[in-house]
Structure 1
Amino acid sequence: MNRLHPLSAVTYAIQYGFLWLWVPIVLVLALGGIFDPISPAWSPIAAPLGFLAGAAYGIAYYYRFEYGITPDTFDVASGVFARRSREIPYGRIQNVDVRQGVLQRLLGLAIVSIETAGGGNTEASLNFVSESEANRLQDQIRRRTAYVKEQRRTKQRSANEGEQQGSQRPTEPDADSSDADRTGAVSGAETDTPSDPTAVPPDRADRTDPDSTPVDGEEPDAERRAYASEPDRQRRQRLFDLQARELLLYSFTSFRPAAVAAVLFVFFLATDPIIDLLVATAQPVGGPQEIGEGTATNYGILTVVSMINGIVITYLLSVAYTFATYYDFELGRTGEDFVYERGLLQRYSGSIPVEKVQSVTVTANPLQRLIGYAGLWVETAGYGPESSGGSQSAVPLAEQSRVHRFTENLTDVETPTFRSPPTMARRRYLVRYSLVAAVIVAAVFGLAQVTALEGWYFAAVVFVAVPPAAHLKYVHIGYFVGENHLVVRSGFWQRRTTVIPYYRIQTVSTRRSIFQRRLGLASLVIDTASSRTFFWGTPTIYDVDLEDAREAHTAGRKRLQSALRERARDDDLGLTVDFT
């Protein structure tokens, strides 16, 4: 078993020291109010004792934390008073993330997170190991996982061949063939299985374990160094690099909702200084001199100036965040996994198992469509480093033709011919947006009744945007029922075209609201095993004719069953990792 990097002891000591620092202070204050001999003045003495106790616990936690690679599992043991031992089978491991912050990169350290299938929580986290050790763990676990998956598929192929042979009628043996020939043919069929160049054979799996018995007189440390000299990265096939021009375009044409949360957080931390700054900014253009002074016009100018400043600052923060996140983005393949690296201040490295990919989505907002660019995302089952769901960017931004070619090569989907909803749906959107505009006008009217706001009726200008908004929503909705894939398109501000293989579909349900039932419309919801993110919902075909929805529902269910049978027979991953 191995231990973490020695600097981890310092980190845990400081972390638990400050955490335990408050325990004796709280006890002294609480007991001082009950027992007279205990004085709150003891807090300065009790605080260092709590810090020392916490630091001692952190150092003990470091010495009690162990991890190791075995032929079948990755083992982690932790805990000072209550011990916890985990054995993570390689067949359950979905991803091994390596993360480095600025300070960690300067010190040559890294955080290794091991994620398992079936959830987005981290199964094991190593804080911290050396950068070379992180690369070694990532490469070895990836190769052992590939070997386990290959063994599983081999057994499945053997079982399928056995079922096919059992279903065939026995025939008389050829008189010219000897028993020895027939025996050799059978044994060859059983032993001749396709090999994966990235799979780790059992002997190599034992040999590359740093804690295993040395082979041919090699010491474990020498074996580790020999392995580290040929990392898995050198066998990686590069698929896509985000060039500087594409990175800048992606940064300036996309928006990160996290920037809004960051601006609000800073505003709540320093409300008064920020308000004073906004007032000073609005004064040259007619804003109030002080809060509490001025007319309604002055405060209207202050509101407009504050909104403009907030939008500009939020946008610039989003640009900086996107640039730092996708700086030096690289996508490659190792065996049957996509592997990626990205990040400026905080460097990420991880993989996307192809067998966990549920759907592929092409995204593009109006600015990106205007310049002819789009992005490519994949949805995985359970874990996704981009968010709490399973979304991961495979191509952040590239020319539309290139992204479409990537999608077709990755999924083998035919060029879709989209079907649009009936024109009745456009009338529904017209009524819906008209109601929204009426609510906005009513809200402005109510505000004018309790304030000095005049000219509330100018808010009715929002009705001008209703017809184009309804039309744009309508023309960007479409679906395509192919032979092997279902393709769903929707959205104007963020148009998403999702390609879903039939064998990945979990459920297909038809939903109808009260208004849809009156118009004879329905929405078809296609659910896969991927977790929904906060901003991306389940792929849905909106407002199609009821008969068309039932037809697509039936076709999807039938093709799902046939796709599952074909995939089980052919042992096909359904996707190709070489999508260039």
Structure 2
Amino acid sequence: MEPLPAATDQPWSRLDKRMLLVHPVTEVVKFIPVLIGSVILGTSSGNHVWSVIPLALIVGFALTRWFTTTYRVGPTHVELRTGLIQRKKLSVPRSRIRSVDIEADVLHRLLGLAVLAIGTGQQADSGEQFKLDALDARLVPELRAALLAHTSGTPQSVAGQTVSEVDPTGTGTADSPEQPPSREIAHWNPSWVRYAPLSLTGFAIVAPIVGLAFQYGVGQVLFRSNAVQWVENGGAVLIAVGAIALVLVIVLVVSLAACARYLTTYFGLRVLDDGRTLHLRHGLFTTRQITLDLARFRGATVNEPLLLRLAGAAELEAIMTGENPRQKILPQAPRTAIEHTLSHLLAPNEFQDKVDALLDKADPHVAGPTPGSAPLRTHGPVARRRRHTRTLVPIAVAALVMLAFSLAGADFSPWWWAVPVLLVPIAIALAEDRYRGLGHTVLPETTTSPTWLITRSGSLDRDRDCLEAPGVIGWTVRQTFFQRRAGVATLIAATAAGKKRYVVLDIALDQAWSLIEATTPGLLGTAQAAERG
């Protein structure tokens, strides 16, 4: 019986040969502006060779990637060598692999290929990413399972070679426990597309296009057109009608852009949980599969922008260590779907108890509130007063500036005074909504779940953060001059996951110390404990 060969003795593998059909196309698309410039140069100079040379260089460079890219999966490391002029070698310890993402656009899918990207939980530049583009799609699931085998200690083999030290024979035939069955905890519904226009993604798509068009003179052509001149000459009524029509057109275009992005990105979304990992798969033209290690899961965030909240919808994001700080689990979706998935993620045992209770026609609330549905504690009248002060003071300052200019003899239209008057009720409504958005609570540890810190804040963009107490590594109690006079403080929980800082705004100082002790017992220092007493 031969021992497992060392990583340095294992052969290097190449990417699939079909990538020779993919990379020339992708590189040509990437350098379209250069090719357009070369065509213009060749046409103006009369030498059409200038139009062909850049195309030949781009295609030739793309073809060399197959000859210069090799990889190998060893028992301890995964290695990748790339580069023609400047050779580069990436080596990733298998124990550091935290996620394996699979992506395939239309061309990859037509050729039966896929792109496999390895994540180690650290931010990397584009040149430092461990990405295999492209592999045979039939081999990718087995390779992904092998690369993530260390999360469960299950030996795996790839192409007949064992890639886990659990099986020292190198045969890949060691007995392994059966993989736990995956349970679907969320799936996409086509009717959810109606929530897409309620986010700002449409503006994010349309704004750069409009800005580029205006930069190249489209705005001047538009404003000099006969239609615009006719509206300007038609008086105030036509100008108002034209403005309303323009707003409606913008809303329609933005909504269509948001719906198109929503459909192409999240079409067919499924979220599966096998007890060790979360598997996300979605995409219409470009399919993407994301695997998240539940050992690095520290909680979840329910994002509720104002328009989504009014429509009874929200978004769900995972709080992970070493991952995307805002790893989306569910896009814009009904609140019932968000709550269902959130309950499973944060309290799977209590969630299953409730399901069993419903099936047994027993009390569905026997397991108590889950972190996603727990009622929150309000922050009191001081926090409400501070919300109103922060929104009304800028309006008052603006009114005083206008008054000063008026007394100094400045001449401006009296209609300008209507601006602060109209802003006052809007500011009051915003302040009240911001106060209603404030809240926090601590759910104590049970036999099946850890202690949970839950905090909520925001109005136009409201977040409800549910963070595991074991993930909190430190606290900051911060007081500004005005907060000290009001007897409140801002409490910040530091963690290595997600946004890194989770804030409890304008909480009474005595409650801040109690909240720290309830969340992380014993973490308070002697000085803070003495001050609290």
TM superposition shift of 1:93: 0.9
Give the partner amino acid of 1:239.
E
In the alignment, what sits opposite 1:60? 64
| TM superposition shift of 1:332 | 0.8
Matches of 1:445 and 1:265, distance apart in 2? 39
| Local SS of the residue matching 2:347 | helix
Aligned counterpart, 2:430: 469
Task: Indicate the residue corresponding to 1:263 in structure 2.
Answer: 206
Aligned twin of 1:6: 17
Superposed, which structure 2 residues align to 1:346-361 within 5 Å? 346-361=286-301
Aligned to 1:487: 454
The residue number in structure 2 matching 1:112 is 116
Displacement of 1:94 after TM fit? Answer: 1.2
Q: 2-side partners of 1:310 and 1:208: how far apart?
A: 57
Shift of the 391–436 alpha-carbon distance from structure 1 to 2, 3 Å rule, reads: farther
Confirm or deny: 8 A CA contact 2:377 2:439 kept in the other structure. yes
Gaps in structure 1 of 5+ consecutive residues: 30-39, 151-198, 227-232, 562-580
Provide the TM-score with structure 2 as the length reference: 0.73
Aligned in 2, Cα 1:107/1:422: closer, same or farther, shift over 3 Å?
A: same
Q: Counterpart in 2 of 1:146?
A: 151
Offset, 1:43: 6.7
Q: Structure 2 vs 1, CA of residues 266 and 402 (structure 1 numbering), >3 Å: closer, same or farther?
A: same
Distance in 1 (CA, whole Å) between partners of 2:198 and 2:485 is: 38
Contact map agreement 1:21 1:47 (CA 8 A) in 2 = no
Instruction: Give SS of 1:132's match.
Output: coil
CA distance in 2, matches of 1:475, 1:211: 54
Per-residue deviation, residues 338-388 of structure 1 (Å, max 9, x unmatched)? 11111112211011111222321233455655665554321112322xxxx
Q: CA 1:10–1:243 in 2, change beyond 3 Å: closer, same or farther?
A: closer
Counterparts in 2 of 1:104 and 1:60: CA distance versus 1, 3 Å: closer
1:113 Cα shift? Answer: 1.3
The structure that has the greater radius of gyration is: 1
Shift of 1:421: 1.2
SS of the counterpart of 1:270? helix
For the Cα contact (< 8 Å) 2:231–2:239, is it kept in 1? no
* 1:43-93, Cα deviation, whole Å (9 max, x unpaired): 744554454344333322211101222222222111123322222111111
Higher helix share: 1
Equivalent pair of 2:82/2:89 in contact (CA under 8 Å):
yes
Q: 1:54 to 1:249 in 2, by over 3 A?
A: closer
Give the CA deviation at 1:528: 1.8
1:514 aligns with 2:481: yes
2:293 pairs with 1:339? no
Question: Separation in 1 of the partners of 2:224 and 2:436?
Answer: 44
Secondary structure of 1:128's aligned partner: strand
Q: Is the partner of 1:420 in helix, strand or coil?
A: coil
Q: Distance in 1 between matches of 2:222 and 2:487?
A: 55
Distance 2:73 2:221 in 1: 58
Partner residue in 2 for 1:242: 187
1:545 aligns with 2:502: no
Q: Which residues of 2 match residues 390-405 of structure 1 at below 5 A?
A: 390-394=326-330, 396-399=333-336, 402-403=340-341, 405=343
In structure 2, distance between residues paired with 1:511 and 1:557: 18
CA 310–511 in structure 1, closer or farther in 2 if over 3 Å, else same: farther
**Distance across 1 between alignment mates of 2:182 and 2:259:** 30
Q: Which runs of 5+ in 2 are unaligned?
A: 1-11, 351-369, 445-450, 525-533
Counterpart-to-counterpart distance in 2, 1:100 and 1:379: 26
Check whether the contact 1:3–1:67 (CA below 8 A) recurs between aligned residues.
yes
Distance 1:48 1:253, change over 3 A: closer
After TM superposition, list the pairs within 5 Å mapping 1:174-193 onto structure 2: none
**CA 1:316–1:458: 2 relative to 1, 3 Å:** farther
CA distance in 1, matches of 2:428, 2:491: 25
> Do the aligned partners of 1:118 and 1:381 also contact (CA within 8 Å) in 2?
no
> 1:502–1:560: 8 Å Cα contact kept in structure 2?
no
TM superposition shift of 1:479: 0.9
CA distances 1:415-466 after superposition (whole Å, capped 9, x unpaired): 6442211202211211221134447778999999999977333322221223
1:79-121 residue CA offsets vs partner (Å, 9 max, x unmatched)? 1233222221111111111112223223322221111123265
Distance (Å, rounded) in 2 between the aligned partners of 1:320 and 1:510? 44
How many pairs were matched up?
465
Q: Is the 8 A contact 1:481 1:552 kept in 2?
A: yes
Higher relative contact order (CA 8 A, sep 6+): 1
* Percent identical: 18
> Relative to structure 2, which stretch is displaced further, 404-413 or 312-321?
404-413
Output the CA distance in 2 between the equivalents of 1:329 and 1:470: 37
- Contact kept, 8 Å, 1:296 with 1:452, in 2: the verdict is no
102, 126, 135: which one aligns with 1:129: 135
User: What's the RMSD between the two structures over aligned residues?
Assistant: 4.4
Report the Cα distance in structure 1 between the residues aligned to 2:219 and 2:474, rounded to whole angstroms.
50
2 CA distance for matches of 1:262 and 1:348?
21
Q: Which amino acid aligns with 2:329?
A: S
Contact 2:440 2:504 survives alignment (8 Å): yes
Whether the 8 Å CA contact 1:505–1:560 is kept in 2: the answer is no
Corresponding position: 1:316 with 2:256: yes
- Alignment partner of 1:455: what SS? helix
CA distance in 2, matches of 1:380, 1:48: 49
Structure 2 matches for 1:265-304, cutoff 5 A?
Answer: 265-271=208-214, 273=218, 288-289=229-230, 299=239, 301-304=241-244
Q: CA deviation at 1:330?
A: 0.7
